[in-house]
A and B are shown apart, each in its own frame.
Chain A
């Protein structure tokens, strides 16, 4: 069964460092998303991406964040200068169409120390 895969499953980084979280969406999907869940809090929407551009982003998704689909198969989330409060589980998701089911990856746990 097709699935969204995320790497790495756990990443530890020092405060101020850049980090790139990687995702391989399902191959025929056209819409891509990033969500995050800080420990003990709700899953929060970060950004949606379609046709090589951001279609919607949340207030959380500031200039420190960027997304890219560099090669037609990967979808990445970059955090330029990590802060302690960026520590969270980051989920990638993809969907075929705009209002179709979003399939989620297993998540990358980011720990900023």
Chain B
């Protein structure tokens, strides 16, 4: 079974400051890893994903994440927060062997950006 833990259900950052959202996973096989963002009253939108290859992946809106197998982590960062980054962020994993492409989500981290 797979599981995802996101450290911190709420994060507050100042505009222009570094955004760091932590994600650790548990999986018996090398997983595929994802970050999704949910803006108010909207669905989940894919920010970035890691499947194979380069462990540092870049996504939309200036976000990036690094897969660290030894630490079973996939932390999300953005060098400079913008007010529009206020949203809830979800880390997710999937099993590449599975037939159904099921995503297992973490609990989410709500980001507040202060002016």
Q: A56-B98, A91-B43, A101-B49 are in contact. Are A45 and B108 (CB under 8 A)?
A: no
The contact of B43 among A41, A50, A58, A105, by CB within 8 Å, is A105
Q: How large, as a class, is the contact surface on chain A?
A: 20 to 34
Q: Indicate if the CB atoms of B46 and A101 lie closer than 8 Å.
A: yes
Q: Indicate if the CB atoms of A43 and B98 lie closer than 8 Å.
A: no
Q: Which chain B residue has the least Cβ–Cβ distance from A5?
A: B43
Interface check A33, CB cutoff 8 A:
yes
Q: Indicate if the CB atoms of B43 and A48 lie closer than 8 Å.
A: no
Q: Indicate if the CB atoms of B43 and A31 lie closer than 8 Å.
A: no
Interface check B54, CB cutoff 8 A:
no
Q: Contact flags (1/0) for A39-66 with B, using CB distance below 8 Å?
A: 0011111011010000111100000000
Q: Which chain A residue has the least Cβ–Cβ distance from B100?
A: A56
By a CB distance below 8 angstroms, the chain A residues around B99 are 48, 55-56
B residues apposed to A, CB below 8 Å: 32, 36, 41-46, 49, 51, 90, 92, 94, 96, 98-108
